[in-house]
């Protein structure tokens, strides 16, 4: 997007200037965090794994009984239209669907007109130098929501759980924080999935640990298997991270970034490991190939 152009936001079928993009103060997305969203990367003007993101969006909406007013095919076209209108070559799309405006109170039958919002912009989650040196993270005392309360597989607008853990990280001087589940097992970080490497085997928590099934997570697992690396989804605890040879995070915004320290304890030799670096390189190649 050029400096002189006005950013365009997709809002319910129309591209409007950023300063004019607005929803009702009675929208239940604002009042109660009632809605779903996705974060999608753009590489070389192409939407990365759009179908995977759209499928997850519609599945999550269905689970919370939110009817998205356009079809998945129309959603895909709308994303592409918004990216093109903003001239995004390498960037990020935030796709949001709210419950819509209604009365005060929780009754979804008293809401109408779900809002479909698409923002296309640039993003930089971590400083570039940290991709070379690795992240230091802490374990948050805020745990992931109990899966019987709200499924972590729904990427809902209510992100306060993650925000509180993120605050703990920033207060401790780190840019990310590890979250455990209600059983004290490793779940994920506030915005990223987590992997470790032990004796050449790539390990990551399973979906029943209370994680979001990340699209980048899925891609990295595919790339690892193609490279002949054994991939195992298994229950992990902090001991496994402390004793790991390598550790890294994955996410649409973060891509692939190494973790070299947890709670002040060095992981491996304290530098990004060979498998982590290999998968980061392979991921960068893969997104450009598409």
The number of helices, as runs of H, and strands, as runs of E, in the chain is 8, 17
Would strands 35-43 and 91-98 be described as parallel, antiparallel, or unpaired? antiparallel
Contact 100, 112 (CB under 8 A): yes
Integer CA distances (angstroms), 231 to 96, 217, 228, 248, in order: 32, 12, 9, 14
283/289 Cα distance (integer angstroms): 10
Contact 82, 118 (CB under 8 A): yes
Q: How many CB atoms lie within 10 A of CB 3?
A: 4
Give the active site residue among 136, 155, 166, 203: 155
Q: H/E/C letters for each residue in 105-171? A: CCCHHHEECCCEEEEEECCCCCCHHHHHHCEEEEECCCCCCCCCCCCCCCCECCCHHHHHHHHHHHH
199/202 Cα distance (integer angstroms): 9
Contact 21, 42 (CB under 8 A): no
261/172 Cα distance (integer angstroms): 13
Query: Coil, strand, or helix at residue 271?
Result: coil
Answer yes or no: 18 catalytic: no
124/159 Cα distance (integer angstroms): 20
For the annotated catalytic residues, the residue numbers are 155
């Amino acid at each position: 997007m050029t400096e002189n152009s006005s950013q365009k936001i997709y809002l319910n079928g129309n591209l409007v200037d950023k300063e004019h993009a607005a929803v009702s103060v009675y929208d239940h997305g604002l009042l109660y965090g009632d809605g779903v969203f996705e974060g999608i990367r753009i590489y070389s003007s192409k939407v990365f794994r759009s179908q995977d993101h759209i499928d997850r969006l519609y599945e999550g909406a269905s689970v919370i009984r939110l009817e998205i007013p356009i079809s998945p095919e129309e959603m895909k076209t709308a994303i592409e239209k918004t990216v093109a209108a903003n001239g995004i070559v390498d960037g990020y799309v935030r796709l949001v669907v709210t419950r819509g405006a209604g009365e005060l109170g929780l009754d979804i039958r008293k809401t109408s007109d779900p809002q479909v919002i698409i923002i296309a912009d640039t993003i930089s989650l971590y400083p570039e130098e940290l991709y070379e040196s690795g992240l230091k993270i802490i374990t948050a005392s805020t745990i992931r929501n109990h899966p019987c309360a709200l499924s972590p597989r729904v990427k809902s607008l209510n992100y306060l759980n993650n925000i509180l853990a993120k605050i703990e990280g920033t207060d401790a001087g780190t840019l990310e924080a590890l979250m455990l589940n209600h059983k004290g097992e490793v779940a994920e970080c506030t915005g990223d999935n987590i992997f470790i490497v032990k004796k050449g085997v790539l390990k990551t928590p399973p979906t029943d640990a209370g994680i979001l099934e990340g699209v980048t997570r899925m891609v990295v697992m595919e790339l690892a298997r193609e490279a002949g690396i054994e991939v195992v989804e298994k229950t992990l605890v902090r001991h496994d991270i402390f004793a790991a040879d390598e550790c890294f995070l994955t996410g649409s915004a973060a891509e692939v970034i190494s973790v070299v320290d947890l709670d002040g304890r060095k992981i491996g030799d304290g530098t990004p490991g060979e498998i982590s670096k290999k998968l980061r390189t392979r991921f960068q190649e893969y997104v450009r190939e598409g």
